[in-house]
Homo-oligomer: A and B are copies of this chain.
Amino acid sequence: MANDTCIRLQADIEQIKSCREKLKSNSKSFLQLGQVLALAGNEVRLKILFLLEEENELCPCDLSDILGMSIPAISQHLRKLKDGNIIEARKAGQTIFYSLRSEHLKTLRPFFKFINQQNLATV
């Protein structure tokens, strides 16, 4: 945070002040949305989320097969998604089924929509 040169001479001080306030009043949203986007911004996790939306629920073993990745790698991605409250777990015997939490569906649905639209466009 070196105070080198700024602020610039012709800067619109009012604009800068207003921007600072906008950030401040939305700070919670930026943190919250940023976390969800950071999780979805990994290609493996994006695929996992997409598959959970499509199939309703899947277990780590199935995801490992589908994505061609090791089980621990999948499990660690699932933990991140679970820690971020994006997915939840259901136990059935020794199998654990993961599914999307409805609270975040509103945020995620535009992504899925985008993917399905792209698919229609290219086929």
**A interface residue numbers (CB < 8 A to B):** 1-2, 4-8, 10-12, 15-16, 19-20, 22-23, 25-26, 28-34, 37-43, 46-47, 50-51, 54-55, 58-59, 61-62, 64-71, 95, 106-107, 110-111, 114-115, 118-119, 122-123
Q: Which of B28, B31, B40 contacts A37 (CB 8 A)?
A: B40
Main secondary structure of the interface of A (DSSP, over half): helix
Tell me which residues across on chain B come within 8 A of A30, comparing CB atoms: 43, 46-47, 50, 115
A104 to B19 Cα, complex, angstroms: 22
Stoichiometry (number of copies): 2
A8-B59, A37-B111 known; A25 and B64 CB under 8 Å? no
A4-B71, A54-B19 known; A115 and B61 CB under 8 Å? no
Give min CB distance, A96 to chain B, whole Å: 11
- 21 interchain pairs, CB-CB under 8 A: A1-B70, A8-B62, A8-B95, A10-B95, A11-B62, A15-B55, A19-B55, A19-B62, A19-B66, A23-B50, A23-B51, A26-B115, A26-B118, A29-B115, A29-B118, A30-B46, A30-B47, A32-B118, A33-B115, A37-B40, A110-B110
